[in-house]
């Protein structure tokens, strides 16, 4: 079978393989803990579950297709949320498209935007699915590397250096996956103006927007006026509401871009699952109380993780203040991939090799502090300390 080189050369992230191995270990009776996939420790709001239960028996709409762009009440709820939380003005009728997850929104945006050979500048380390989607659409990834020395902040100069005549989009993810960096507002503004001046689309992936610590909050470049529809905002309900399995995200863009992207949506998902859309409306209605409840817990875990990592000489973390991740450097000659597999085999804990986020990050691992219970998380920290130091971590347990 002859398949396109762009497909064959696309590398599957290692998470599935590690997850499968973890599942095997669990099946053997091992006491496994995942610090791997980005799944928060909480499930969706009880109000959402109640509303979905009710819809199951009372709302026959859930069984049929809805409008391609999303059910009107969800687009309306998103427009209100965007206005209030992000300062983004979006017409729910023409500028918001609900997708089965923000990951799919990114693919739809790339399919809508790219010609073969077009370039996309992305901050590195990058979210691996961004890399995959660009390549699978025939685009070329150009990395704008950030550095652990200044907390993985993205600078306009890095973006400029990664931009050529073929650049069709700049992708920023803040709070960042995998680094947890929340980009400086003034720098994001500069990058947005740079993109607009060159009529390059700025794709802002804000999946982790509600996870900012130390009082830091995410800035949405879609809120900057007069950028002439160059910003495409991607959002997700998955992390905010602990509903990754429900597949609800969205794209906000100019009217013309949305009109064209809707063709891709129609030829792909048709529409996002209706039962999930109905749940999402209710979840958005309780967003403030719901998100507040988790921030303190996540910030406390991050600080516990910092204490443990500080106690381990062979691991080095430049602490960041967003998302659910620590992007941790092992010794310069270490392989994050070998480390992840060895940690899994020796301690029954899953972490993600840094190479998944770009070739330059081979000696890093990503540790998620968002999943499992606090108890389990503390147990994980203990195992980390024992594995690396041969004894329990400072101040944990």
Q: Which of residues 182-221 bind a second copy (CB under 8 A)?
A: 199, 201
Q: Is omega for the bond preceding 125 within 30 degrees of 0, making it cis?
A: yes
CA pair distance 125, 364, nearest whole angstrom: 10
Please list every residue from 134 through 153 that binds a second copy, using CB under 8 A: 136-138
For a second copy (CB under 8 A), the number of binding residues is: 73
Q: Which is nearer to a second copy, 10 or 318 (CB)?
A: 10
Chosen residue from 220, 233, 244, 355 binding a second copy by CB under 8 A: 244
Q: Which is nearer to a second copy, 150 or 266 (CB)?
A: 266
Residue 87 engages a second copy in binding (rule: CB under 8 A): no
Question: Look-up: residue for tokens 């996540």?
Answer: 298
Dump the DSSP string for 294-335: HHHHHHHHHHHHHHHHHT-TT-EE----BTTEEEEE--TT--
Question: Look-up: residue for tokens 């979905």?
Answer: 52
Please list every residue from 253 through 292 that binds a second copy, using CB under 8 A: 254, 256-257, 260, 262-264, 266-276
Q: Which is nearer to a second copy, 174 or 238 (CB)?
A: 238
Dump the DSSP string for 63-111: GS---TT--HHHHHHHHHHIIIII-----TTTSEEEESSHHHHHHHHHH
Q: Which is nearer to a second copy, 157 or 164 (CB)?
A: 164
CA pair distance 313, 265, nearest whole angstrom: 49
Residue 372 engages a second copy in binding (rule: CB under 8 A): no
Chosen residue from 60, 225, 313, 390 binding a second copy by CB under 8 A: 60
Region near a second copy per CB under 8 A, out of 12-20, 82-90, 209-217, 345-353: 12-20
CA pair distance 240, 127, nearest whole angstrom: 18
Token pair recorded at residue 125? 């380390």
Q: Which is nearer to a second copy, 51 or 381 (CB)?
A: 51
Q: Which is nearer to a second copy, 103 or 223 (CB)?
A: 103
Chosen residue from 29, 58, 63, 332 binding a second copy by CB under 8 A: 63
Q: Which is nearer to a second copy, 48 or 142 (CB)?
A: 48
Token pair recorded at residue 65? 């297709």
Residue 114 engages a second copy in binding (rule: CB under 8 A): yes
Chosen residue from 14, 70, 92, 100 binding a second copy by CB under 8 A: 100
Chosen residue from 32, 36, 45, 68 binding a second copy by CB under 8 A: 68
Phi, psi of 323 (to 5 degrees): 60, -150
Please list every residue from 16 through 55 that binds a second copy, using CB under 8 A: 16, 19, 37, 39, 43-44, 49, 52-53
Dump the DSSP string for 259-295: HHHHHHHHTTTSS--HHHHHHHHHHHHTHHHHHHHHH
């Amino acid at each position: 079978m002859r398949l396109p080189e762009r497909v064959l050369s696309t590398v599957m992230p290692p998470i599935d393989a590690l997850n499968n191995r973890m599942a095997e270990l669990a099946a053997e009776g091992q006491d496994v803990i995942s610090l791997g996939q980005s799944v928060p420790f909480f499930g969706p709001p009880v109000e959402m579950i109640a509303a979905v239960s009710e819809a199951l028996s009372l709302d026959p709409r859930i069984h049929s297709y809805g409008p391609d762009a999303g059910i009107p009440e969800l687009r309306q709820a998103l427009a209100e949320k965007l206005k209030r939380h992000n300062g983004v003005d979006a017409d729910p009728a023409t500028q918001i498209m609900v997708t089965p997850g923000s990951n799919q929104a990114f693919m739809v945006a790339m399919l809508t935007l790219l010609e073969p050979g077009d370039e996309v500048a992305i901050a590195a380390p990058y979210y691996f699915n961004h890399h995959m989607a660009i390549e699978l659409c025939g685009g070329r990834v150009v990395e704008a590397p950030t550095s652990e020395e200044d907390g993985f902040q993205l600078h306009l100069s890095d973006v400029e250096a990664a931009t050529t005549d073929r650049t069709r989009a700049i992708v920023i993810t803040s709070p960042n996956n995998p680094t947890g960096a929340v980009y400086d507002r003034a720098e994001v503004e500069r990058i947005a103006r740079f993109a607009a001046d060159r009529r390059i689309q700025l794709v802002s992936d804000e999946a982790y927007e509600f996870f900012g610590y130390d009082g830091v909050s995410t800035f949405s470049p879609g809120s900057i006026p007069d950028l002439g529809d160059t910003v495409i905002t991607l959002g997700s309900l998955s992390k905010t509401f602990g509903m990754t399995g429900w597949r609800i995200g969205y794209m906000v863009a100019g009217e013309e871009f949305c009109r064209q992207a809707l063709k891709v949506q129609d030829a792909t998902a048709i529409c996002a699952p209706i039962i999930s859309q109905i749940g999402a409306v209710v979840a958005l209605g309780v967003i403030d109380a719901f998100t507040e409840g988790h921030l303190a817990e996540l910030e406390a875990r991050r600080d516990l993780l910092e204490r443990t990592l500080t106690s381990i000489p062979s691991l080095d973390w430049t602490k960041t203040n967003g998302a659910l991740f620590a992007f941790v450097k092992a010794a310069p000659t270490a392989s994050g991939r070998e480390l992840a597999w060895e940690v899994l085999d020796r301690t029954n804990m899953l972490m993600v090799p840094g190479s998944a986020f770009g070739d330059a990050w081979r000696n890093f691992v990503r540790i998620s502090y968002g999943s499992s219970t606090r108890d389990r998380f503390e147990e994980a920290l203990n195992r980390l300390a024992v594995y690396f130091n041969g004894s329990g971590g400072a101040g944990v347990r």
